[in-house]
Amino acid sequence: MFTTLDMHILEILCEDARVSPREIAVMTGSDEATVVTAIDGLRRAGVLVGYQALINWERTEREFVQAVIEVNVVPQREKGFDAIAQRIMQYDEVRSLYLMSGAYDLMVLCEARTLKELAQFVHSRLSVIEGVTGTSTHFMLKTYKYGGMIFEGGADDRRQAVMP
Amino acid sequence: MRYEDVINRRVADVPPSGIRKFFDIVRQMPEAISLGVGEPDFVTPWPIREAAIESIEDGQTQYTSNWGLESLREKIAAYLRMRYHVTYSPQNEVLVTVGASEGIDLALRALVCPGDEVIIPEPSYVSYAPCVTFAGGTPVAAVTTEQDEFALTPEALRAALTPRTKALILPYPNNPTGGVMSRAQLQALARVLEGTDVVVISDEIYSELVYGGHEHTAFAAIEGMRERTITLNGFSKAFAMTGWRVGYACAPHELLAPLFKIHQYTMLCASMQGQVAADRALGRAFETGFEDVRTMVRSYDRRRRLMVSALNDMGLDCFEPRGAFYVFPSIRKTGLTSEDFCTQLLREKQVACVPGTAFGASGEGHIRCSYATSIEKLNEALARIRAFVERL
């Protein structure tokens, strides 16, 4: 049973995962123990999967390349796309994986240290998986928005500081 | 030329807004956190902005009907019927205005003759009393108190009524107190007004922003009150559209007609783009079952609780507001006046709040803090206020 408290918790954590159960309790008019139990329930139900920071790596010294790879596959009898997706998601290079409608089947978001490593991943690991019939790789050039947050070109608070 | 000889005395005698002074100080403090903001911290949702852009591309740059765009008036009427169970004809009982603010001005100018009195619950929004004065009337404060959760009591209303009373402004949910009025409380006011010719100007601009199980009741929905009520509302708060300046005034045709007449001769119409955007805002809300509004209300609700809890915890007694996006804590324990508290807090800790006295003399002893700001900033501001209060 999905409660209003659950919804509040998800909205709060979605905005800032650092907010403590005690603070959530204050914000929702609940008590800390109830919030902890609710969070636990959301974790066990697989709704709340993890707590990650959103990092704009492009503003660091770190070298990396990212690509979106469109993958066409032959679905397997009875298992459909799941079995092949299970294979692909094992690689550390794969950051996200989606089953898509349209011109291709799977969309793989990949990350590697260098162009060479990424190329190697595509041609010697991904393309050779049984059932993969074709790939098309697009390199990402710049992140403007990710996880609902604007990384580049966001607007400041433009409101008048004091208004009646 | 001696300007003081040519300026209308009524205008010259109204003091400048008490808020202005703080605004000027805050502007010189880039590090200041402002809890003085009177508008949502959301930018107008993109689909609404897009509608306005498309209308410009499409060459919709003309005047609209003086009443406002027909499709918008139809949506406003549908909205009020669905949400608050008040029925107005979109043909001649809904007037699209330049913000609810224009509606206040129109209503007062349409009603008030020299010597007429207009009752204004206090503390409340800074514009009412000056607008009454500009219209040639006399503002009469009906003081509301924390003990009554800043609701207007029948006793206070009765005490303020005189044979010269022309209108009552009913500003709930209230800025700055966050007070709301239940159906039963409104019914009690209705009983006082029955048999009088007092018109009620019900400013319901914060109607969507109510919390803790409170449901907004439109005054016009109280039995027998529709005929005497001018309902004012707008898009600024519920749809984060402050800068677009679109609101509306609704009333029985004969009561609305004089407002329309002034509007027709002065403002002509609200801007086409603002109206197109407002039309999309309501259209989208109908399609999505007000999902965006509900999400926004939940978000404000959490900040509201955070503020009330933290302020009480640091010894600033804070009544739990059930509407708008303001808290109105008492600062009496500090021994400072509202104005001194706010000035010192701003200079020493760079947090801007608004002294309660900006909303009428009865606001003394309180400050208004807006929580339409990110949780992160609220927490920082609260920590600074705590440090300030502990030092006193």
- Evaluate if residue A154 carries a pLDDT over 80: no
B26 → closest Cβ in A28, A157, A161: A161
B155-194 residue pLDDT tens: 999 999 999 999 999 999 999 999 999 999 999 999 999 9
> In chain A, which ranges are continuous DSSP H helix?
4-15, 21-28, 32-44, 82-88, 115-120
Closest residue on chain A to B37 (Cα)? A162
Q: For residues B12 and B26, state if they share a domain.
A: yes
Q: Residue B58 is part of a domain; what is its CATH number?
A: 3.40.640.10
Residue A31 lies in a domain: yes
A51-100 residue pLDDT tens: 999 999 999 999 999 999 999 999 888 888 999 999 999 999 999 999 99
Residue ending a domain, among B288, B312, B329, is B288
Residue ending a domain, among B242, B258, B288, is B288
Residue with tokens 């039995």: B223
Q: For residues B281 and B301, state if they share a domain.
A: no
Residue A115 lies in a domain: yes
Looking from the CA of B246 toward its CB, the CA atoms found within 13 Å total: 30
Residue with tokens 């499409």: B58
Bridge partner list, B355: B367
Say how far apart CA A9 and CA B94 lie, in whole Å: 40
Query: Domain range holding B105?
Result: 46-288
Q: For residues A68 and A135, state if they share a domain.
A: yes
Say how far apart CA B313 and CA B307 lie, in whole Å: 10
Say how far apart CA A86 and CA B62 lie, in whole Å: 58
Residue A149 lies in a domain: no
Stretches where chain B sits below pLDDT 70 are none
Q: For residues B310 and B338, state if they share a domain.
A: yes
Say how far apart CA A140 and CA A151 lie, in whole Å: 14
Rg (CA), chain B: 21
Say how far apart CA B234 and CA B203 lie, in whole Å: 9
Q: Under 8 Å CB-to-CB from B374, ≥6 apart: which residues?
A: B41
The one-letter amino acid code at B83 reads R
- Give chain B's contact residues with A (Cβ, < 8 Å): 17, 19, 22-23, 26-27, 32, 34, 36-39, 41, 43, 125-127, 175, 212, 295, 298-299, 302-303, 305-306, 309-310, 352, 354, 358, 375-376
Q: For residues A64 and A39, state if they share a domain.
A: no
Q: For residues B255 and B376, state if they share a domain.
A: no
Say how far apart CA B326 and CA B358 lie, in whole Å: 14
Residue A87 lies in a domain: yes
Three-state SS annotation for chain B: CCHHHHCCHHHHCCCCCHHHHHHHHHHCCCCCEECCCCCCCCCCCHHHHHHHHHHHHCCCCCCCCCCCCHHHHHHHHHHHHHHHCCCCCCCCCEEEECHHHHHHHHHHHHHCCCCCEEEEEECCCCCHHHHHHHCCCEEEEEECCHHHCCCCCHHHHHHHCCCCEEEEEECCCCCCCCCCCCHHHHHHHHHHHCCCCCEEEEECCCCCCECCCCCCCCHHHCCCCHHHEEEEEECCCCCCCHHHCCEEEECCHHHHHHHHHHHHHCCCCCCHHHHHHHHHHHHHHHHHCCHHHHHHHHHHHHHHHHHHHHHHHCCCCCCCCCECCEECCECHHHCCCHHHHHHHHHHHHCEECEEHHHHCHHHCCEEEEECCCCHHHHHHHHHHHHHHHHHC
Tokens of A127: 């393309």
Say how far apart CA A48 and CA A45 lie, in whole Å: 8
Q: Under 8 Å CB-to-CB from B294, ≥6 apart: which residues?
A: none
Q: For residues A101 and A135, state if they share a domain.
A: yes
Tokens of B372: 């339409």
Number of domains in chain B: 2
> Given this model, what pLDDT does residue B263 score?
98
Q: What's the order of all strands across the beta sheet hosting B117-122?
A: B94-97, B247-250, B229-234, B199-203, B165-170, B117-122, B138-143
- Work out whether the CA dihedral B53, B59, B65, B66 comes out positive or negative: positive
Say how far apart CA B147 and CA B190 lie, in whole Å: 21
Residue A101 lies in a domain: yes
Q: For residues B159 and B270, state if they share a domain.
A: yes
Tokens of B221: 């929905």
Q: For residues A18 and A71, state if they share a domain.
A: no
How, if at all, do strands B199-203 and B229-234 pair?
parallel
> Given this model, what pLDDT does residue B56 score?
97
Bridge partner list, A110: A67, A94
Query: Domain range holding A102?
Result: 57-141
Q: What is the ipTM of this complex?
A: 0.75
Q: For residues B140 and B274, state if they share a domain.
A: yes
Q: For residues A63 and A134, state if they share a domain.
A: yes
Q: Chain A partners of B17 at a C-beta cutoff of 8 Å?
A: 164
Q: For residues B64 and B142, state if they share a domain.
A: yes
Residue ending a domain, among B224, B255, B288, is B288
Say how far apart CA B247 and CA B230 lie, in whole Å: 13
Say how far apart CA B136 and CA B186 lie, in whole Å: 28
Q: Chain A partners of B299 at a C-beta cutoff of 8 Å?
A: 11
**Peptide bond just before B123 cis, omega within 30 deg:** yes
A contact test, residue of B302, B311, B371 with most A CBs within 10 A: B302
Residue with tokens 């509004």: B293
Q: For residues B55 and B92, state if they share a domain.
A: yes
Number of domains in chain A: 2
Q: For residues A33 and A62, state if they share a domain.
A: no
Q: Is A102 left (phi over 0), alpha (psi -120 to 50) or beta?
A: left
Cβ proximity of B132 and B120 under 8 Å: yes
> Given this model, what pLDDT does residue A95 score?
95
Rg (CA), chain A: 21
- Evaluate if residue A133 carries a pLDDT over 80: yes
C-alpha distances out from residue B300 to A14, A91, B33, B236, B279, Å: 15, 42, 18, 15, 24
> Given this model, what pLDDT does residue A157 score?
77
Q: For residues A36 and A82, state if they share a domain.
A: no
Q: Mean pLDDT over residues A41-50, rounded?
A: 96
Q: Residue B377 is part of a domain; what is its CATH number?
A: 3.90.1150.10
Q: For residues A71 and A25, state if they share a domain.
A: no
A92-122 residue pLDDT tens: 999 999 999 999 999 999 999 999 999 999 9
> Given this model, what pLDDT does residue B42 score?
85
Q: For residues A72 and A128, state if they share a domain.
A: yes
Residue A136 lies in a domain: yes
A28 → closest Cβ in B39, B175, B302: B302
Tokens of B144: 């509301």
Say how far apart CA A67 and CA A63 lie, in whole Å: 14
Do the Cβ atoms of A164 and B125 come within 8 Å? yes
Closest residue on chain B to A11 (Cα)? B299
Q: Is B15 exposed, middle or buried (0-12, 13-18, 19+ CB in 10 A)?
A: exposed
Residue A162 lies in a domain: no
Distance from CA of B163 to the nearest CA of A (A): 32
Bridge partner list, B163: none
Residue with tokens 């996880």: A147
* 3-state secondary structure (DSSP) of residue A110: strand
Q: For residues A79 and A36, state if they share a domain.
A: no
Q: Residue A113 is part of a domain; what is its CATH number?
A: 3.30.70.920
